[in-house]
Chain A
Protein backbone atom coordinates (compact mmCIF):
# COMPACT_ATOMS: atom_id res chain seq x y z
CA UNK A 1 0.00 0.00 0.00
CA UNK A 2 2.90 2.35 0.64
CA UNK A 3 4.37 1.45 -2.71
CA UNK A 4 2.04 3.75 -4.62
CA UNK A 5 2.88 6.97 -2.71
CA UNK A 6 6.56 6.16 -3.01
CA UNK A 7 6.34 5.62 -6.74
CA UNK A 8 4.41 8.84 -7.29
CA UNK A 9 7.00 10.68 -5.25
CA UNK A 10 9.90 9.34 -7.28
CA UNK A 11 8.10 9.96 -10.57
CA UNK A 12 7.58 13.59 -9.64
CA UNK A 13 11.16 13.95 -8.52
CA UNK A 14 12.54 12.52 -11.73
CA UNK A 15 10.24 14.58 -13.94
CA UNK A 16 10.76 18.04 -12.50
CA UNK A 17 12.14 19.47 -15.73
CA UNK A 18 9.35 17.84 -17.71
CA UNK A 19 6.72 19.30 -15.38
CA UNK A 20 8.27 22.75 -15.63
CA UNK A 21 8.36 22.77 -19.43
CA UNK A 22 4.92 21.28 -19.86
CA UNK A 23 3.42 23.79 -17.43
CA UNK A 24 4.90 26.61 -19.50
CA UNK A 25 3.38 25.24 -22.68
CA UNK A 26 0.11 24.78 -20.85
CA UNK A 27 0.13 28.45 -19.90
CA UNK A 28 1.16 29.48 -23.36
CA UNK A 29 -1.56 27.56 -25.16
CA UNK A 30 -4.09 29.00 -22.72
CA UNK A 31 -3.34 32.60 -23.67
CA UNK A 32 -2.22 32.27 -27.26
CA UNK A 33 -5.48 33.59 -28.68
CA UNK A 34 -5.88 36.70 -26.56
CA UNK A 35 -4.33 40.12 -26.90
CA UNK A 36 -4.26 40.85 -23.20
CA UNK A 37 -3.53 37.21 -22.35
CA UNK A 38 -2.15 36.94 -18.86
CA UNK A 39 -3.59 40.34 -17.92
CA UNK A 40 -7.09 38.86 -17.95
CA UNK A 41 -6.09 36.63 -15.10
CA UNK A 42 -5.65 39.75 -13.01
CA UNK A 43 -8.47 41.84 -14.43
CA UNK A 44 -11.21 39.24 -13.89
CA UNK A 45 -10.51 38.73 -10.15
CA UNK A 46 -10.26 42.47 -9.58
CA UNK A 47 -13.66 42.99 -11.18
CA UNK A 48 -15.06 40.12 -9.12
CA UNK A 49 -13.62 41.52 -5.91
CA UNK A 50 -15.17 44.92 -6.56
CA UNK A 51 -18.61 43.37 -7.05
CA UNK A 52 -18.26 41.24 -3.91
CA UNK A 53 -17.11 44.26 -2.00
CA UNK A 54 -20.09 46.25 -3.27
CA UNK A 55 -22.64 43.54 -2.46
CA UNK A 56 -21.29 42.14 0.80
CA UNK A 57 -19.29 45.02 2.23
CA UNK A 58 -21.34 47.97 1.12
CA UNK A 59 -24.74 46.36 0.75
CA UNK A 60 -25.10 43.63 3.38
CA UNK A 61 -22.56 44.78 5.97
CA UNK A 62 -23.24 48.46 5.35
CA UNK A 63 -19.56 49.31 5.55
CA UNK A 64 -18.94 47.77 9.00
CA UNK A 65 -15.50 46.25 9.53
CA UNK A 66 -14.63 42.70 10.65
CA UNK A 67 -12.45 42.26 13.74
CA UNK A 68 -11.18 45.78 13.32
CA UNK A 69 -10.23 45.24 9.68
CA UNK A 70 -12.02 47.16 6.95
CA UNK A 71 -14.07 44.82 4.76
CA UNK A 72 -12.16 45.29 1.51
CA UNK A 73 -8.69 44.32 2.80
CA UNK A 74 -10.30 41.54 4.84
CA UNK A 75 -12.00 40.22 1.69
CA UNK A 76 -8.92 40.53 -0.50
CA UNK A 77 -6.62 38.79 1.97
CA UNK A 78 -8.96 35.79 2.09
CA UNK A 79 -10.21 35.53 -1.47
CA UNK A 80 -6.83 35.59 -3.24
CA UNK A 81 -6.06 31.98 -2.38
CA UNK A 82 -9.58 31.05 -3.43
CA UNK A 83 -8.87 32.33 -6.95
CA UNK A 84 -6.13 29.70 -7.02
CA UNK A 85 -7.84 26.83 -5.19
CA UNK A 86 -11.14 26.86 -7.02
CA UNK A 87 -9.92 26.66 -10.63
CA UNK A 88 -7.11 24.35 -9.53
CA UNK A 89 -9.53 21.77 -8.11
CA UNK A 90 -11.83 21.77 -11.13
CA UNK A 91 -9.09 21.93 -13.78
CA UNK A 92 -6.82 19.28 -12.31
CA UNK A 93 -9.80 16.95 -11.94
CA UNK A 94 -10.21 16.82 -15.71
CA UNK A 95 -6.49 17.10 -16.41
CA UNK A 96 -5.82 13.42 -17.06
CA UNK A 97 -8.65 12.52 -19.37
CA UNK A 98 -8.41 15.70 -21.41
CA UNK A 99 -4.69 15.34 -22.01
CA UNK A 100 -4.09 11.62 -22.18
CA UNK A 101 -4.51 11.76 -25.95
CA UNK A 102 -1.31 13.78 -26.14
CA UNK A 103 0.67 11.17 -24.27
CA UNK A 104 2.36 8.97 -26.79
CA UNK A 105 3.72 6.24 -24.55
CA UNK A 106 2.40 4.03 -21.82
CA UNK A 107 5.64 4.57 -19.97
CA UNK A 108 4.89 8.29 -19.65
CA UNK A 109 4.46 9.05 -15.94
CA UNK A 110 0.81 10.05 -15.84
CA UNK A 111 1.15 11.43 -12.32
CA UNK A 112 2.94 14.42 -13.84
CA UNK A 113 -0.19 15.56 -15.68
CA UNK A 114 -2.03 16.94 -12.64
CA UNK A 115 1.30 18.31 -11.42
CA UNK A 116 2.04 20.40 -14.48
CA UNK A 117 -1.54 21.61 -14.79
CA UNK A 118 -1.40 22.70 -11.17
CA UNK A 119 1.93 24.43 -11.71
CA UNK A 120 0.58 26.35 -14.70
CA UNK A 121 -2.16 27.74 -12.46
CA UNK A 122 0.35 28.65 -9.81
CA UNK A 123 1.98 31.25 -12.08
CA UNK A 124 -1.07 33.46 -12.14
CA UNK A 125 -1.48 32.97 -8.42
CA UNK A 126 1.95 34.58 -8.01
CA UNK A 127 0.76 37.49 -10.11
CA UNK A 128 -2.31 37.89 -7.98
CA UNK A 129 -0.33 37.78 -4.74
CA UNK A 130 1.81 40.65 -6.01
CA UNK A 131 -1.27 42.69 -6.87
CA UNK A 132 -2.70 42.00 -3.41
CA UNK A 133 0.44 43.27 -1.73
CA UNK A 134 0.08 46.54 -3.61
CA UNK A 135 -3.62 46.78 -2.89
CA UNK A 136 -3.23 45.99 0.80
CA UNK A 137 -0.42 48.52 1.14
CA UNK A 138 -2.99 51.22 0.34
CA UNK A 139 -4.88 50.14 3.43
CA UNK A 140 -1.78 50.20 5.58
CA UNK A 141 -0.98 46.49 5.60
CA UNK A 142 2.64 46.28 4.58
CA UNK A 143 4.72 43.16 4.02
CA UNK A 144 7.00 42.28 6.91
CA UNK A 145 8.39 39.28 8.72
CA UNK A 146 4.94 37.66 8.69
CA UNK A 147 5.14 37.60 4.88
CA UNK A 148 7.52 34.64 5.13
CA UNK A 149 4.53 32.52 6.08
CA UNK A 150 3.70 32.71 2.37
CA UNK A 151 6.33 30.07 1.66
CA UNK A 152 4.75 27.67 4.12
CA UNK A 153 1.26 28.43 2.83
CA UNK A 154 2.21 27.92 -0.81
CA UNK A 155 3.72 24.53 0.03
CA UNK A 156 0.63 23.63 2.04
CA UNK A 157 -1.75 24.64 -0.73
CA UNK A 158 0.18 22.83 -3.46
CA UNK A 159 0.49 19.68 -1.35
CA UNK A 160 -3.22 19.55 -0.63
CA UNK A 161 -4.26 20.38 -4.19
CA UNK A 162 -1.91 17.82 -5.73
CA UNK A 163 -2.98 15.05 -3.36
CA UNK A 164 -6.60 15.85 -4.12
CA UNK A 165 -5.89 16.09 -7.86
CA UNK A 166 -4.38 12.59 -7.91
CA UNK A 167 -7.63 11.24 -6.57
CA UNK A 168 -10.09 13.37 -8.53
CA UNK A 169 -8.27 13.12 -11.86
CA UNK A 170 -8.28 9.32 -11.63
CA UNK A 171 -11.93 9.10 -10.61
CA UNK A 172 -13.08 11.71 -13.13
CA UNK A 173 -11.41 9.80 -15.94
CA UNK A 174 -13.60 6.82 -15.08
CA UNK A 175 -16.74 8.69 -14.03
CA UNK A 176 -17.09 11.99 -15.86
CA UNK A 177 -20.05 13.12 -13.75
CA UNK A 178 -17.70 13.82 -10.87
CA UNK A 179 -16.59 16.90 -12.75
CA UNK A 180 -20.06 18.41 -12.42
CA UNK A 181 -20.28 17.44 -8.79
CA UNK A 182 -16.93 19.03 -8.03
CA UNK A 183 -17.96 22.27 -9.72
CA UNK A 184 -21.15 22.51 -7.66
CA UNK A 185 -19.28 21.70 -4.47
CA UNK A 186 -16.68 24.36 -5.18
CA UNK A 187 -19.39 26.94 -5.81
CA UNK A 188 -20.87 26.18 -2.39
CA UNK A 189 -17.50 26.11 -0.72
CA UNK A 190 -17.02 29.75 -1.59
CA UNK A 191 -19.70 30.55 1.00
CA UNK A 192 -18.69 27.85 3.47
CA UNK A 193 -15.17 29.15 3.96
CA UNK A 194 -14.48 32.41 5.79
CA UNK A 195 -14.21 34.54 2.65
CA UNK A 196 -17.26 36.80 2.93
CA UNK A 197 -18.17 36.26 6.56
CA UNK A 198 -16.64 34.99 9.77
CA UNK A 199 -18.60 32.13 11.31
CA UNK A 200 -18.83 31.84 15.10
CA UNK A 201 -19.71 29.20 17.68
CA UNK A 202 -20.36 25.59 16.68
CA UNK A 203 -20.82 26.60 13.04
CA UNK A 204 -17.24 27.73 13.04
CA UNK A 205 -16.07 24.47 14.63
CA UNK A 206 -17.81 22.43 11.94
CA UNK A 207 -16.69 24.58 9.03
CA UNK A 208 -13.11 24.49 10.23
CA UNK A 209 -13.02 20.75 9.53
CA UNK A 210 -12.74 21.75 5.89
CA UNK A 211 -9.01 22.01 5.16
CA UNK A 212 -9.67 24.94 2.83
CA UNK A 213 -10.72 26.91 5.91
CA UNK A 214 -7.17 26.65 7.22
CA UNK A 215 -5.73 27.89 3.94
CA UNK A 216 -8.04 30.90 3.66
CA UNK A 217 -7.46 31.99 7.27
CA UNK A 218 -3.75 31.24 6.90
CA UNK A 219 -3.43 33.52 3.89
CA UNK A 220 -5.43 36.20 5.61
CA UNK A 221 -3.19 36.04 8.64
CA UNK A 222 -0.11 36.22 6.42
CA UNK A 223 -1.39 39.27 4.51
CA UNK A 224 -2.69 41.15 7.53
CA UNK A 225 0.10 40.18 9.88
CA UNK A 226 -1.94 38.43 12.58
CA UNK A 227 -0.90 35.39 14.61
CA UNK A 228 -3.69 33.14 13.44
CA UNK A 229 -1.40 30.40 12.05
CA UNK A 230 0.64 30.14 15.24
CA UNK A 231 -2.41 30.29 17.49
CA UNK A 232 -4.07 27.53 15.51
CA UNK A 233 -1.07 25.22 15.36
CA UNK A 234 -3.23 22.15 16.16
CA UNK A 235 -5.27 22.88 13.05
CA UNK A 236 -2.00 22.88 11.15
CA UNK A 237 -1.42 19.31 12.24
CA UNK A 238 -4.97 18.46 11.32
CA UNK A 239 -4.42 20.00 7.87
CA UNK A 240 -1.27 18.00 7.17
CA UNK A 241 -2.96 14.85 8.42
CA UNK A 242 -5.67 15.38 5.81
CA UNK A 243 -3.01 15.99 3.15
CA UNK A 244 -1.23 12.74 3.99
CA UNK A 245 -4.44 10.71 3.98
CA UNK A 246 -5.48 12.24 0.65
CA UNK A 247 -2.07 11.58 -0.85
CA UNK A 248 -2.15 8.00 0.33
CA UNK A 249 -5.64 7.33 -1.01
CA UNK A 250 -5.07 9.39 -4.18
CA UNK A 251 -1.85 7.68 -5.16
CA UNK A 252 -3.29 4.23 -4.56
CA UNK A 253 -6.36 4.97 -6.67
CA UNK A 254 -4.17 6.54 -9.36
CA UNK A 255 -1.82 3.56 -9.55
CA UNK A 256 -4.67 1.07 -9.43
CA UNK A 257 -6.50 2.56 -12.42
CA UNK A 258 -3.57 4.00 -14.34
CA UNK A 259 -3.38 1.27 -16.95
CA UNK A 260 -7.06 1.64 -17.74
CA UNK A 261 -7.07 5.41 -18.24
CA UNK A 262 -6.45 5.09 -21.95
CA UNK A 263 -9.39 2.70 -22.31
CA UNK A 264 -11.79 5.17 -20.75
CA UNK A 265 -11.51 7.99 -23.26
Chain B
Protein backbone atom coordinates (compact mmCIF):
# COMPACT_ATOMS: atom_id res chain seq x y z
CA UNK B 1 0.00 0.00 0.00
CA UNK B 2 1.49 3.29 -1.02
CA UNK B 3 0.98 6.17 1.30
CA UNK B 4 -0.30 9.51 0.12
CA UNK B 5 1.56 11.50 2.72
CA UNK B 6 4.62 10.43 4.59
CA UNK B 7 6.55 12.32 7.26
CA UNK B 8 9.91 10.91 8.27
CA UNK B 9 11.53 12.47 11.33
CA UNK B 10 10.29 15.86 10.30
CA UNK B 11 11.30 18.85 12.38
CA UNK B 12 10.64 22.51 11.85
CA UNK B 13 12.90 24.76 13.83
CA UNK B 14 12.67 28.45 14.45
CA UNK B 15 15.41 30.41 16.06
CA UNK B 16 14.30 32.91 18.62
CA UNK B 17 16.72 35.78 18.51
CA UNK B 18 17.04 38.22 21.30
CA UNK B 19 18.53 40.89 19.12
CA UNK B 20 18.20 41.54 15.44
CA UNK B 21 21.99 41.50 15.19
CA UNK B 22 22.12 37.87 16.32
CA UNK B 23 20.32 36.99 13.14
CA UNK B 24 22.97 38.72 11.09
CA UNK B 25 25.74 36.93 12.98
CA UNK B 26 24.16 33.61 12.20
CA UNK B 27 24.06 34.32 8.49
CA UNK B 28 27.73 35.19 8.34
CA UNK B 29 29.22 32.79 10.88
CA UNK B 30 26.74 29.92 10.62
CA UNK B 31 26.64 29.68 14.40
CA UNK B 32 23.30 30.24 16.06
CA UNK B 33 23.16 32.54 19.00
CA UNK B 34 19.48 32.37 19.84
CA UNK B 35 17.26 29.79 21.45
CA UNK B 36 16.23 26.98 19.17
CA UNK B 37 12.54 26.36 19.19
CA UNK B 38 10.95 23.39 17.54
CA UNK B 39 7.46 24.05 16.23
CA UNK B 40 7.50 20.38 15.24
CA UNK B 41 10.04 17.90 16.50
CA UNK B 42 10.77 14.47 15.05
CA UNK B 43 7.34 13.89 13.66
CA UNK B 44 6.78 10.70 11.69
CA UNK B 45 3.54 9.36 10.35
CA UNK B 46 2.02 7.94 7.23
CA UNK B 47 -1.40 8.45 5.73
CA UNK B 48 -2.84 6.10 3.11
CA UNK B 49 -5.08 7.52 0.36
CA UNK B 50 -8.71 8.21 1.17
CA UNK B 51 -8.29 9.03 4.82
CA UNK B 52 -9.62 12.15 6.45
CA UNK B 53 -7.24 13.11 9.18
CA UNK B 54 -8.26 15.56 11.84
CA UNK B 55 -5.35 17.39 13.40
CA UNK B 56 -6.12 18.40 16.95
CA UNK B 57 -4.19 19.94 19.77
CA UNK B 58 -4.25 22.97 22.00
CA UNK B 59 -2.90 26.35 20.96
CA UNK B 60 0.79 26.33 20.16
CA UNK B 61 1.02 22.63 19.54
CA UNK B 62 2.27 23.09 15.98
CA UNK B 63 -0.93 22.74 13.98
CA UNK B 64 -0.32 25.74 11.74
CA UNK B 65 3.25 24.69 11.03
CA UNK B 66 1.91 21.26 10.19
CA UNK B 67 -0.57 22.72 7.71
CA UNK B 68 2.13 24.82 6.06
CA UNK B 69 4.39 21.81 5.71
CA UNK B 70 1.57 19.67 4.34
CA UNK B 71 0.67 22.33 1.80
CA UNK B 72 4.30 22.62 0.70
CA UNK B 73 4.41 26.29 1.56
CA UNK B 74 7.64 25.94 3.54
CA UNK B 75 10.39 23.33 3.71
CA UNK B 76 11.07 21.32 6.87
CA UNK B 77 14.32 21.97 8.75
CA UNK B 78 15.12 18.28 9.03
CA UNK B 79 13.56 15.11 7.74
CA UNK B 80 11.68 14.22 4.65
CA UNK B 81 8.11 14.83 3.61
CA UNK B 82 6.74 12.87 0.70
CA UNK B 83 3.54 14.08 -0.88
CA UNK B 84 1.86 12.18 -3.66
CA UNK B 85 -0.04 14.56 -5.92
CA UNK B 86 -1.12 18.14 -5.71
CA UNK B 87 -1.91 19.77 -2.39
CA UNK B 88 -4.24 22.65 -1.77
CA UNK B 89 -4.33 24.70 1.40
CA UNK B 90 -7.53 26.30 2.48
CA UNK B 91 -7.04 28.88 5.15
CA UNK B 92 -8.84 32.02 6.21
CA UNK B 93 -6.10 34.30 4.99
CA UNK B 94 -6.24 33.04 1.48
CA UNK B 95 -3.65 35.39 -0.01
CA UNK B 96 -5.95 37.24 -2.36
CA UNK B 97 -4.91 40.57 -3.80
CA UNK B 98 -7.32 43.23 -2.55
CA UNK B 99 -6.70 45.63 -5.42
CA UNK B 100 -7.74 43.15 -8.07
CA UNK B 101 -11.20 41.82 -8.87
CA UNK B 102 -12.36 38.33 -8.03
CA UNK B 103 -11.92 37.23 -11.63
CA UNK B 104 -8.39 38.55 -11.75
CA UNK B 105 -7.59 36.87 -8.47
CA UNK B 106 -8.71 33.54 -9.86
CA UNK B 107 -6.19 33.83 -12.65
CA UNK B 108 -3.48 35.18 -10.40
CA UNK B 109 -3.90 32.40 -7.90
CA UNK B 110 -3.95 29.83 -10.68
CA UNK B 111 -0.70 31.20 -12.07
CA UNK B 112 0.86 31.16 -8.63
CA UNK B 113 -0.09 27.52 -8.30
CA UNK B 114 1.72 26.77 -11.53
CA UNK B 115 -1.31 26.19 -13.72
CA UNK B 116 -1.42 26.83 -17.45
CA UNK B 117 -3.61 29.34 -19.25
CA UNK B 118 -5.94 26.61 -20.52
CA UNK B 119 -6.28 24.93 -17.14
CA UNK B 120 -7.23 28.21 -15.53
CA UNK B 121 -9.76 29.03 -18.25
CA UNK B 122 -11.37 25.63 -17.84
CA UNK B 123 -11.71 25.97 -14.08
CA UNK B 124 -12.92 29.55 -13.89
CA UNK B 125 -16.67 28.88 -14.43
CA UNK B 126 -16.66 26.16 -11.78
CA UNK B 127 -14.92 28.45 -9.31
CA UNK B 128 -17.36 31.30 -9.95
CA UNK B 129 -20.26 28.94 -9.55
CA UNK B 130 -18.94 27.50 -6.31
CA UNK B 131 -18.06 30.85 -4.76
CA UNK B 132 -21.54 32.13 -5.62
CA UNK B 133 -20.88 35.77 -4.86
CA UNK B 134 -22.80 37.16 -7.84
CA UNK B 135 -21.78 40.47 -9.37
CA UNK B 136 -19.06 40.90 -6.77
CA UNK B 137 -16.82 38.62 -8.78
CA UNK B 138 -16.08 41.65 -10.98
CA UNK B 139 -15.39 43.95 -8.01
CA UNK B 140 -12.06 44.45 -6.22
CA UNK B 141 -11.59 41.89 -3.46
CA UNK B 142 -11.04 44.63 -0.88
CA UNK B 143 -14.74 45.45 -1.10
CA UNK B 144 -15.66 41.89 -0.11
CA UNK B 145 -16.97 40.87 3.27
CA UNK B 146 -14.85 38.36 5.16
CA UNK B 147 -17.35 35.66 4.28
CA UNK B 148 -17.11 36.45 0.58
CA UNK B 149 -13.33 36.44 0.71
CA UNK B 150 -13.13 33.04 2.29
CA UNK B 151 -15.73 31.68 -0.11
CA UNK B 152 -13.70 32.80 -3.08
CA UNK B 153 -10.50 31.45 -1.55
CA UNK B 154 -12.16 28.18 -0.75
CA UNK B 155 -13.70 27.92 -4.20
CA UNK B 156 -10.34 28.40 -5.87
CA UNK B 157 -8.49 25.89 -3.73
CA UNK B 158 -11.15 23.23 -3.88
CA UNK B 159 -11.60 23.42 -7.63
CA UNK B 160 -7.99 22.96 -8.67
CA UNK B 161 -8.54 19.22 -8.27
CA UNK B 162 -6.06 18.58 -5.47
CA UNK B 163 -5.09 15.10 -4.32
CA UNK B 164 -4.38 16.29 -0.84
CA UNK B 165 -6.54 18.93 0.75
CA UNK B 166 -5.48 20.79 3.87
CA UNK B 167 -8.25 22.71 5.60
CA UNK B 168 -7.04 25.07 8.28
CA UNK B 169 -9.88 26.42 10.42
CA UNK B 170 -11.50 27.73 7.27
CA UNK B 171 -14.99 26.51 7.85
CA UNK B 172 -15.61 28.72 10.83
CA UNK B 173 -16.29 31.87 8.80
CA UNK B 174 -18.94 30.87 6.27
CA UNK B 175 -22.64 30.66 7.03
CA UNK B 176 -24.36 27.33 7.49
CA UNK B 177 -25.36 26.91 3.84
CA UNK B 178 -21.83 27.47 2.65
CA UNK B 179 -20.40 25.19 5.32
CA UNK B 180 -22.83 22.51 4.19
CA UNK B 181 -21.79 23.04 0.59
CA UNK B 182 -18.17 22.63 1.58
CA UNK B 183 -18.87 19.54 3.61
CA UNK B 184 -20.70 18.04 0.64
CA UNK B 185 -17.74 18.80 -1.59
CA UNK B 186 -15.33 17.34 0.92
CA UNK B 187 -17.38 14.22 1.27
CA UNK B 188 -17.21 13.96 -2.50
CA UNK B 189 -13.45 14.17 -2.26
CA UNK B 190 -13.46 11.57 0.45
CA UNK B 191 -15.42 9.21 -1.79
CA UNK B 192 -12.96 9.84 -4.61
CA UNK B 193 -10.23 8.54 -2.38
CA UNK B 194 -8.46 11.83 -1.78
CA UNK B 195 -6.66 12.58 1.39
CA UNK B 196 -7.92 15.41 3.53
CA UNK B 197 -6.34 17.03 6.53
CA UNK B 198 -8.73 18.89 8.71
CA UNK B 199 -7.25 21.23 11.26
CA UNK B 200 -9.77 22.43 13.76
CA UNK B 201 -10.41 23.35 17.34
CA UNK B 202 -13.90 22.00 17.09
CA UNK B 203 -13.65 18.46 18.37
CA UNK B 204 -17.22 17.72 17.37
CA UNK B 205 -16.55 18.70 13.76
CA UNK B 206 -13.48 16.48 13.69
CA UNK B 207 -15.43 13.60 15.14
CA UNK B 208 -18.22 14.05 12.63
CA UNK B 209 -16.06 14.36 9.57
CA UNK B 210 -12.74 12.56 10.07
CA UNK B 211 -11.71 8.95 10.01
CA UNK B 212 -8.37 9.38 11.72
CA UNK B 213 -7.05 11.86 14.21
CA UNK B 214 -3.58 13.14 14.83
CA UNK B 215 -3.09 14.67 18.22
CA UNK B 216 -0.24 17.13 18.42
CA UNK B 217 1.17 18.22 21.72
CA UNK B 218 3.94 20.77 21.95
CA UNK B 219 5.36 19.91 18.58
CA UNK B 220 5.23 16.15 18.89
CA UNK B 221 2.69 13.51 18.07
CA UNK B 222 0.95 12.46 21.23
CA UNK B 223 -1.29 9.97 19.52
CA UNK B 224 -2.40 8.98 16.05
CA UNK B 225 -5.16 6.55 15.22
CA UNK B 226 -8.89 6.07 14.62
CA UNK B 227 -10.85 9.20 15.35
CA UNK B 228 -13.21 7.87 18.06
CA UNK B 229 -10.37 6.63 20.18
CA UNK B 230 -8.14 9.66 19.89
CA UNK B 231 -10.90 12.20 20.36
CA UNK B 232 -11.98 10.39 23.49
CA UNK B 233 -8.46 10.53 24.86
CA UNK B 234 -8.13 14.16 23.83
CA UNK B 235 -11.35 15.12 25.60
CA UNK B 236 -10.12 13.38 28.70
CA UNK B 237 -6.89 15.32 28.48
CA UNK B 238 -8.71 18.62 28.02
CA UNK B 239 -10.85 17.92 31.06
CA UNK B 240 -7.77 17.11 33.10
CA UNK B 241 -5.91 20.15 31.81
CA UNK B 242 -8.77 22.51 32.58
CA UNK B 243 -9.06 21.41 36.18
CA UNK B 244 -5.39 22.20 36.80
CA UNK B 245 -4.63 25.45 38.54
CA UNK B 246 -2.88 28.20 36.59
CA UNK B 247 0.50 27.38 38.14
CA UNK B 248 0.08 23.67 37.51
CA UNK B 249 -0.75 24.41 33.86
CA UNK B 250 2.37 26.52 33.58
CA UNK B 251 4.43 23.82 35.24
CA UNK B 252 3.14 21.33 32.70
CA UNK B 253 3.94 23.66 29.82
CA UNK B 254 7.38 24.34 31.28
CA UNK B 255 8.22 20.65 31.43
CA UNK B 256 7.27 20.26 27.77
CA UNK B 257 9.14 23.36 26.73
CA UNK B 258 12.57 22.05 27.69
CA UNK B 259 12.00 19.11 25.43
CA UNK B 260 10.90 21.44 22.69
CA UNK B 261 14.05 23.51 22.76
CA UNK B 262 16.35 20.46 22.83
CA UNK B 263 18.31 20.40 19.63
CA UNK B 264 17.62 17.58 17.24
CA UNK B 265 20.89 15.90 16.41
CA UNK B 266 20.66 15.87 12.67
CA UNK B 267 22.69 17.33 9.88
CA UNK B 268 20.43 16.60 6.99
CA UNK B 269 18.63 19.41 5.25
CA UNK B 270 14.91 18.75 5.27
CA UNK B 271 13.10 18.46 2.00
CA UNK B 272 9.64 18.03 0.60
CA UNK B 273 9.30 15.63 -2.29
CA UNK B 274 6.23 15.93 -4.44
CA UNK B 275 5.56 12.77 -6.42
CA UNK B 276 3.16 12.61 -9.34
CA UNK B 277 -0.25 11.25 -8.44
CA UNK B 278 -0.65 7.51 -8.69
CA UNK B 279 -2.54 5.83 -11.49
CA UNK B 280 -4.91 4.50 -8.87
CA UNK B 281 -6.14 7.86 -7.69
CA UNK B 282 -6.38 9.06 -11.25
CA UNK B 283 -8.82 6.32 -12.09
CA UNK B 284 -10.80 7.09 -9.00
CA UNK B 285 -11.12 10.76 -9.82
CA UNK B 286 -12.22 9.88 -13.31
A interface residues (Cβ-Cβ under 8 A, vs B): 17-18, 21-22, 25, 28-30, 32-33, 101-108, 174-175, 259, 262-263
Contacts and interface: CB of A to CB of B under 8 A. Distances in A.
Contacts of B31: none
Contacts of B108: 21-22, 25, 102
A168 to B, nearest CB: 16
Nearest to A260: B75
Given A29-B97, A29-B99, A175-B24, A104 B89 contact: yes
Contacts of A175: 24, 27
Given A102-B95, A106-B75, A32 B111 contact: no
Nearest to B105: A25
Given A104-B113, A107-B72, A262-B73, 12 more contacts: A18-B111, A21-B108, A21-B111, A25-B97, A25-B107, A28-B104, A104-B73, A104-B89, A105-B72, A106-B272, A175-B24, A262-B74
Given A25-B108, A263-B14, A263-B74, A105 B272 contact: no
Contact of A106 (B72, B95, B104): B72
A194 to B, nearest CB: 36
Contacts of A33: 99
Given A262-B73, A263-B74, A104 B112 contact: yes
Contacts of B140: 32
Contacts of B73: 104-106, 262
B172 to A, nearest CB: 21
28 contacts: A21-B108, A21-B111, A22-B108, A25-B97, A25-B100, A25-B104, A25-B107, A28-B100, A28-B104, A29-B97, A29-B99, A32-B100, A101-B95, A102-B112, A104-B73, A104-B89, A104-B113, A105-B72, A105-B73, A105-B112, A105-B114, A106-B72, A106-B74, A175-B24, A259-B75, A262-B73, A262-B75, A263-B74
Interface string B90-112: 00000101011000100111011
A259 B78 CA distance: 13
B274 interface: yes
B86 to A, nearest CB: 9
Contacts of B97: 25, 29, 102
Nearest to B96: A102
Residue of A106, A175, A262 ringed by the most chain B CB atoms within 10 A: A106
A105 B73 CA distance: 5
Nearest to B269: A259
B116 to A, nearest CB: 8
Contacts of B104: 25, 28
Contacts of B71: 104
B74 A107 contact: no
Interface in B109-166: 109, 111-114, 117, 140
A18 B140 CA distance: 21
Given A18-B111, A101-B95, A102-B95, A107 B274 contact: yes
A25 B104 CA distance: 8
Given A104-B112, A108-B112, A174 B27 contact: yes
Nearest to A17: B117
A-B residue pairs, 3 tightest by C-beta: A29-B99, A262-B74, A32-B99
A104 B108 CA distance: 11
Contacts of B117: 17
Contacts of B109: 104
B85 to A, nearest CB: 13
Contacts of A21: 107-108, 111
Interface string B266-286: 000000101000000000000
B75 A107 contact: no
A259 B89 CA distance: 19
A65 B194 CA distance: 74
A107 B114 contact: yes
A101 B27 CA distance: 22
A263 B27 CA distance: 13
B98 to A, nearest CB: 8
B141 to A, nearest CB: 10
A22 B111 contact: yes
Given A174-B27, A175-B24, A105 B99 contact: no
Contacts of A105: 72-73, 112-114
A236 to B, nearest CB: 36
A108 B99 contact: no
A174 B71 CA distance: 23
Nearest to A259: B75
Residue of B23, B27, B99, B109 ringed by the most chain A CB atoms within 10 A: B99
Contacts of A30: 99
Contacts of A25: 97, 100, 104, 107-108
A21 B114 CA distance: 12
Contacts of B74: 106, 262-263
Nearest to B120: A21
